[in-house]
């Protein structure tokens, strides 16, 4: 079944948490600019240097797996400016509102070339980056004078401890905010989304935070030259993450290309694999599957019919739901064997191999994996309802799966499919 989408204003109405995050960040950005324009900038050269670093970092933002936009250099520069106590031995006196104003201008200048080129950012990700700096800045800058080396009772360890604590708090704040936005967008459980965000941001988040602290501490001795010296390691980390994201994207593009072979050869209906994949992911989200499991599910759903390429006589209309159980098992086994030849998708191959089994299992291996049960339901819905199915026909198909008397379809998965389809229809 085709999953309808809303865009623009409709998406804004569908995602109030995302709108709230963007609105709060915009209020802080506008307020900081207004306050700083009224009160005036201090240490303009330092503000300019950090503003340029933030803008260049935002310009070089990257998209990680899961469509997560990050700007490591910009975020580290913003954190460094927040934690800056002295520059070349001279105490700095910029307020937290000036920090937010410089970060706002830097983000805006960094995004302008992307917008001009038609690559609009994911505004909720930009807003999250802003909110992290808001949390850290408003908690740190009021104590900057006390923590500065120029104060009478200065010790280095309270400043470092506070910096490290606030980096951790900022990271957790970002993970919670990202999880709320992601759970709302994918219609999954907030706890599952939170765990996914923690895993996704752990390595890079710590690299960004530690780099920001190093920039602030190094600038105490080296001055503005510390910006270049301690940004370099983060650039290397960013390149590594970019390559990782490119490899993941290449994997997905390759799998999608393979899934179209069955359509081009006339073995399945046009768009069948993509529709099954979309519905399977929606069901997986309803069931609270982890992001890594959803990725494997997407791969398996796209290639679930690839075993039909080995058939001498194609299944009528490519609808395996009408094939005999023995034929279904043969198609699944052949498809699994093809996928295993890649050498890196064994777990995906296992999902494909067991997709035709009853949900309680039919051998010594026990029940099939959840991903296999999801693919079985998603494939049956699309085989029976087709691409342009109306609501009544889809409901009839779901009722048929509910009334299955041979234990073929997992009732929990069928109900999750009903909820996913209902949400998709409501968003239309």
pLDDT digits (tens, 9 = 90+) for 96-142: 999 999 999 999 999 999 999 888 888 999 999 999 999 999 999 98
Q: If pLDDT is split at 50, 70 and 90, which confidence band does 6 have?
A: very low
pLDDT beyond 50 at 8: no
Least confident of 10-14, 26-30, 148-152: 10-14
Segment 194-206 shows an average pLDDT of 84
CA angle 143, 144, 148 (to 5 degrees): 125
State the alpha helices, DSSP H only, in 141-224.
144-147, 156-186, 190-222
pLDDT digits (tens, 9 = 90+) for 227-256: 777 777 777 777 777 787 788 778 778 887
Rounded distance between C-alpha atoms, residue 115 and residue 424, angstroms: 30
pLDDT beyond 90 at 54: yes
- At residue 63, the 3 state secondary structure works out as strand
Rounded distance between C-alpha atoms, residue 320 and residue 263, angstroms: 14
Q: Which of 228, 232, 236, 235 is nearest to 52 (CA)?
A: 228
- At residue 62, the 3 state secondary structure works out as strand
pLDDT beyond 90 at 279: yes
> Measured between alpha carbons, how far is residue 385 from residues 200, 346, 390, 403 in Å?
37, 31, 8, 16
- At residue 90, the 3 state secondary structure works out as strand
Q: Which pTM value belongs to this model?
A: 0.79
pLDDT digits (tens, 9 = 90+) for 344-373: 788 889 999 998 888 887 767 788 999 999
Rounded distance between C-alpha atoms, residue 170 and residue 95, angstroms: 19
Please identify which residue in the block is written with the tokens 């995050």: 21
pLDDT beyond 70 at 5: no
pLDDT beyond 90 at 165: yes
Query: In the 8-state DSSP scheme, what is residue 155?
Result: -
How buried is 27 (Cβ within 10 angstroms: 0-12 exposed, 13-18 middle, 19+ buried)? exposed
Please report the pLDDT score of residue 9 as a whole number: 46
Contact 315, 323 (CB under 8 A): yes
Please report the pLDDT score of residue 316 as a whole number: 66
């Amino acid at each position: 079944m085709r999953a309808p989408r809303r865009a623009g204003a409709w998406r804004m109405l569908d995602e109030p948490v995302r709108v709230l995050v963007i609105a709060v960040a915009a209020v802080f950005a506008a307020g900081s600019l207004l306050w700083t324009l009224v009160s005036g900038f201090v240490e303009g050269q330092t503000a300019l240097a950090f503003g340029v670093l933030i803008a260049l970092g935002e310009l070089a933002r990257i998209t990680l797996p899961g469509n997560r936009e990050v700007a490591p250099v910009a975020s580290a520069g913003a954190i460094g400016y927040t934690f800056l106590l002295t520059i070349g031995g001279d105490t700095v006196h910029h307020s937290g509102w000036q920090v937010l104003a410089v970060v706002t201008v830097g983000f805006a200048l960094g995004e302008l070339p992307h917008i001009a080129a038609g690559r609009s950012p994911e505004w909720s990700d930009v807003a999250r980056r802003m909110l992290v700096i808001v949390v850290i800045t408003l908690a740190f800058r009021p104590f900057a004078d006390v923590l500065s080396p120029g104060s009478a009772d200065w010790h280095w360890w309270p400043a470092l401890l506070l910096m490290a604590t606030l980096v951790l708090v900022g990271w957790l704040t970002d993970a919670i905010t990202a999880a709320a936005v992601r759970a709302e967008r994918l219609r999954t459980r907030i706890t599952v989304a939170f765990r996914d965000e923690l895993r996704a941001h752990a390595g890079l988040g710590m690299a960004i935070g530690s780099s920001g602290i190093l920039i602030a501490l190094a600038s105490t001795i080296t001055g503005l030259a510390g910006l270049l010296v301690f940004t370099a390691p983060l650039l290397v980390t960013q390149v590594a993450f970019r390559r990782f994201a490119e490899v993941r994207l290449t994997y997905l593009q390759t799998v999608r290309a393979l899934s179209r072979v069955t359509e081009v050869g006339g073995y399945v209906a046009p768009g069948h694999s993509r529709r099954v994949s979309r519905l399977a992911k929606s069901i997986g989200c309803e069931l609270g599957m982890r992001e890594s499991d959803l990725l494997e599910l997407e791969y398996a759903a796209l290639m679930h019919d690839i075993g039909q390429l080995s058939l001498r006589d194609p299944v009528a209309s490519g609808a395996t739901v009408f094939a005999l159980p023995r034929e279904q098992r043969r198609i699944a086994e052949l498809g699994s064997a093809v996928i295993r030849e890649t050498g890196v998708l064994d777990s995906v191959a296992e999902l494909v191999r067991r997709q035709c089994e009853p949900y309680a299992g039919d051998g010594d291996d026990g029940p099939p994996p959840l991903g296999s049960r999801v693919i079985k339901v998603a494939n049956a819905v699309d085989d029976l309802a087709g691409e342009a199915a109306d609501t009544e026909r889809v409901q009839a198909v779901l009722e048929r799966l509910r009334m299955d008397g041979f234990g073929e379809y997992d009732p929990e998965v069928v109900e999750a499919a009903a909820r996913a389809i209902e949400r998709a229809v409501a968003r239309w």
